Structure 1
Amino acid sequence: MTETSSSERTGGLTDLIARRWVDIAVVTLLVVVAHTPLLPVFGTIRLPIAVVAAALLGTVVATVGAARRWGPIPVLAALLTGFVAFSALGAPTTALAGAVPTPETLGAVGRGVVTSWKDIVTILPPLGAGRNMLTAPYLIALVASCVAVTLALRTRWPALALIPPLLVLAGSILMGTADVSTSIPLGLGMTGVGLVWGSWRSGRLHTNRWPGVAVLVVVGLVAGTGAGVLAPPQGRLVLREHVDPPPDLHDYPSPLAGFRQYVKDHREDTILTVDGLPDGALVRLATLDEYDGTAWMAADPETGTGQYQRIGDRIEPTLPEDGLHTVRLTVGDYANVWVPMVGKPYDLDFTGQRADELARGLYVNRATETGLSTPGLRGGDRYELLAGVPQIPNDTALEGAPLADVSQPEVAFPDVVATTGQRMAGDASTPIGRIRAVEQALQQGYFSHGLEGETPSLAGHGAARLDSLLGGDDPMVGDEEQYAAAMGLILRSLSIPARVVMGFEAPQQRGDGPVELTGDEVSAWVEVPFEGHGWVPFYPTPDEDRIWQDEETVPESIPQPQVLQPPPPAQEPPDAPPSDRQDVDIDDDDVREDDPLSLAAWIAIGAGGLLLVLLLPLLMIVLLKVRRRRRRRFSGAPAARLAGGWDEVLDVGTDLGVTVSPTATRRQAAGQLVAGLAAPATGRRRQPPPVDIAPARTQDLASSADAGTFGPGAPDESAAARFWDDVETSLGSLRTAVGRRRWWRARVSTRSLGRSRRGDRRSARRRGRG
């Protein structure tokens, strides 16, 4: 008996594949091709490997389920088992040899079911295969292929199998980049293949029509490719362009506001140790392009230059062939969220003990060439930077270059800034001439940090401090903070785009080894964008040897006679600590941090998320039927609601596997429903037992529906309500007769949805007449 059963199952699977291999191959291929827009997002060969393997796995589960007539629960169980068994496809870097899942892999994929969707649209491409980035496409390909093949093999309308690939394509486009060159031809190509296959499967495609169909497909692909190449990227809707990154820059104080602290408290302390710093390169700490009257700060993404986003495999998607430098930085006496950068960063990798924590919180702004890590850097952190150092053009090259058109927020500046700017710019006519005039005028001031023994100079760069710098009776005195802040505002008042940069300037005399940057090397400068040259730096701060000598004499101090001071008053004894330890307030945040979720919790979250994704189609079917039932019961005239009640009974019978003739009268349909459940159709290996639904009184319901529809008088509201009460009673008896398991299988069946559309159109016509 066992050998015969096994032979029948193998023969059924083989026969199904032999008869329907074209359907299986077409829909599986469409699901795989629909992931094409994600290739530039991930930029790794691991993506097509994961998508193809997941699509094949979903196809196998759907084909075996169709051959053996599995219900929804066995198919979902097989799909979940396959998802876990091949979880290395979703997080290959955590798997053994990239293929064998480990506990870390299960935890990563479990988290990825929940978090990888957001990561795809918030992290700068290329994402690579690190962490659990591939979990989302792996899950999409698995579920979409299983659903598509199931629809192709187990429904009356195989063309429904085209819906999952089209949904996958739409999702891939939304999660992709702004490049439209492949999306339009890809969509047209998939639509053409789908239409040809659907027409062939339905028997509507004749042999003599193949040449015409081929010509239409080729013309569509060529036209679509041309439209994709010529289409402007601004018209493309992608989620990553509309999803704001998590960090709010206003949560972090402006680093320029703490400029004086470096030279006051850390003048001799090593802030950074840089190995491999190119000659002439500056270490950029933060780029500031917004001024609110108090401080220069990093602007909001909506109003400033660029936005901060998480990075994937590297910062820039493509690397130049030469001109790159590998710079290794070690953090010393520095604690802040801003990540020091060198030149134009292309890649950044943390290598210290906190590498994973800092990498997860890293956000980079490509436009301003700066980065921040939300956990904050501290002493001992290390990272390696791959950067390019652009050449700074001379004035001859900039003389005829126009200013670049960049987006910058509005700034609020004192009136003295505008008047001083016009006076400093003088008669200069070219942009570089006006910029150099302002720079040289500010360099005529005097330098001072305002420390002990130096010329008095207040810290800060608020409106009052800049007003005293530029509009006071005394000469200009300050350091890089005040002069850079003033020049940035002066240029903006002259309609010249400008931003202030804070960082570190390496000493001129240094060896070939690592360079230690102390607090004394902190600096600030101004950058202006030129067409064809990018952002060019300018240095308005006077030389440090330009010191203002106050000619006012300082009166000599006259010593005062010593006076015996009275003894200090007696101090009160300190309060003794409470004897009960529970009375002592302890800040839990200083004692311990919140424990991270355990591996088991992440696995549970991931399994729950996967189960929710898999059960979503069944939930949608149930919700559609609930909506259909409520519309039939409460919408329209009483006669239409009576007809809707009878349609509800027929739809339940259809979902239970009974075929009712569309031309039968209501009483004939009631008889067919009773007969169909009493003698189930043959051909199924697991035939349900005969069911007696006499208690359901379907004949009485049919007679009541006929009386309400064709009777001499129109039924009223109470008649419709009584009829629906009888319908509920009848369906309750029917549910008891067929059993709970068969009833719930009927609840998630889609057989009645096609039939109900025709019934709803008839009901709509009745409501219109009523």
Structure 2
Amino acid sequence: MSSTTQARLTLASVLATMLAALTLSPLVRGKAWLVAVFVLVAVVAGVGAAVRQVTRSWLVVLLAQLAAFALAVTALFARNAALWGVLPGPEAWRALAELVRAGVEITEQDGPPVEPARGLILLVAGGVGLVGLVVDVLAVSLRRPAVAGLPLLAVYCVPAAVLPDGVSWVWFVLGGLGYLLLIAADATDRIRGWGRVLGNLGPDGEGRTMAGGPLSGARRIGVGALAVAVLVPPLVPGLGEQILGNGSGSGDGKGNRQIAVVNPILTLREDLNDRADITVMTYKLSGDQQPEPLRIVADTQYRGDKWEPPTDRKIPRDNTVQTQMGTPPGLTPAVATERLQMSVTVNDYKQNFLPLPYPAYKVDIEGDWLWDASTLNVVGSGTDTRNKQYEAYYYDVQPTAEQLQAAGLPPQSISDEYTKLPADFPATLRDTAKQVAGNGSDYEQATALQKYFRDGGFRYDTNAPVGTGSNDGSQDVLVQFLRVKRGYCVHFASAMAVMARALNIPARVAVGFLPGSKGADGTYTVSLRDAHAWPELYFDGVGWVRFEPTPAGRVAQVPGYTTGVQEPEESPTQTQTQTSEPSSSASSAQQRTGAPDENLGPVEQTPLLERVLAAIPWRVVLAVLLLGLLGLVPLLAATVVRRRRWRRAVTASARAEAAWEELRERLADLGVRWASSWTPRALQRRLADDHTLGGSERGALGRLVDDVESARYMPPGAPGRDPDEMGEDVRTVADGVALTVPKGARRRARWFPRTGVEVLGGIARSADVAADEAGRRAAALGAQVRQSVGAGRRSGPGDGPED
């Protein structure tokens, strides 16, 4: 392998690794970590390039790169503990180990994007640096760039698995481009080893040089494949976070599919609309107590775009759920409580947070599960809920309406954190909250908000025309929600929580499951469609209290303490409403839509424009637009090829040939026969006779023929015409010929040119050339190996010459 090829592959390896590293940007704040990544990747690549100049042994190169990597990591992260600032002695190794431990702790306890602490930067930069080393060894030392895509894919899989919304298509495209650059850098050298590329024979038997160079088709197939990978998945219905097919998941024995969820509130709409009603868990209660909703997580942070769990707190390692958990925040002995127990079995449901009734005080479960003191969220450290069995011990808190009415002011720390709203919080939400809630106590205002959503003409609808699923809690969506009065639990819970905060009532959003349905044997079954969200409001002396603003079409009854009348909790059959059909209460609420309400004023009708927009099948429209854009690819390809040809034509002869080649392409687009054996004069006569060109077209064609004959037969250096004039003559002749062909041919030439199709067709030819060459090299190498092995077997101790 030449030094030029090595340099090209080395540079491509660095670029591919850095582009893959960019996909980690949503996980870490700032760009300091990216600088450290570049330093380590550049050091590894540079040392590898230098050592290859003196040895061909990939093992020696690898050892040198590992040594350079260790020195660079020490200099960046343990300089003060190292010998001369770079040599990693015992103190430096201890310092690095401590940083790694701190970085791992951050990844276990904090959610993305995390702050760029030194330990975290070491993990990210060190990990990507090692990936860069592997890529360099595979692509440059071993000349296997295709295999080098595996470690690059491993980098991309990290954010894809961690981020609740997945990785943006922008990062996917960047990572894919890096891999394509790596493949192209190697393929260029391999194909050029064949010498000048020969074109395929045309329909007339004449050869034609393949335009665009040996890799033009390969580049286009790569870009095309990348575009298809980005554009097609959003158009395919039913592709969520589930594994395709029926699978063989455990649980109910019916082939449940595995579900992977990180931030539950972001996938609630998708889960509720999932056609496969998957059982996620079952549980049994001790005694005859009523079931409670199973809370997964309390989302406390609201920045205006969505609700998120707390990510700025570090949970102590000794906060394990197997020991007694802390006292529920705000709860005092004056409130009646009862200790209860439930046995839970989780199926193939993967979740970082443990589903529990609130408030739990102990859990018997295998694994490292930690509880957060402020929310009682239980999060797994290196474990998840999949196929777990556990015993949950919890309090059944039974406050009275009088206790909630008499609640005093919350602590300042609670008020500061849980009434926080964005600076651009919409006045519509704040004004509506004040109008609905009135001027009573916090309890009276909270119950008024709940009544507004349940009895104010709102309708439960998972297909509400607001939001996209991942932004259903954003303040812009909530403003639309109040106007259209249609939504599902995330809309209701988020709206009540932010409106309570606007009234200075501490509030947060809980995400989990409704109690599910009870079987004949007393076992409760919770399915994916039981996913639910509800607001929790804080009352001093009682703590965090569940409210239920979602209408009766989803949840039949509300907790008795939220209505002023102590009612029994809803039964599972009342709570569980899987169909989208509203109950009688919901139906009566719908019938009142548009009618005046004596307390709330007239209920708004959905504006005509919004109803029209909601009725448009946007997915189909988007699919049609994307298909239309894909149909323009041949036109774009032809345009790019012609412009590139003119840019490269710097001499008079080259410009003449460029004009003549463009004329050939334009006429081919129109279906005009052109044989390469024809001289320019012969072609001039055929065009004039067969297509009855006018005077201007004949003059333009004559000038083009003179240009190409001068370029081919006159001495070099002769002056030529202005390229703009030549291009105008090409278009004049092509337009004249176009008038003599059928309209269908003209339309195809304009919007779907044959030249662009041929450019795209070169993709397959270039790919075949590369594949054939790789196959021949592999076959030759295999033959050499077999020959060497056979020769070794035939030669023995007595086969050599005698002494």
Q: Given the two structures, how large is their TM-score scaled by the length of structure 1?
A: 0.36
Structure 1 or 2, whichever has the larger Rg, is 1
TM-score, normalization by structure 2: 0.35
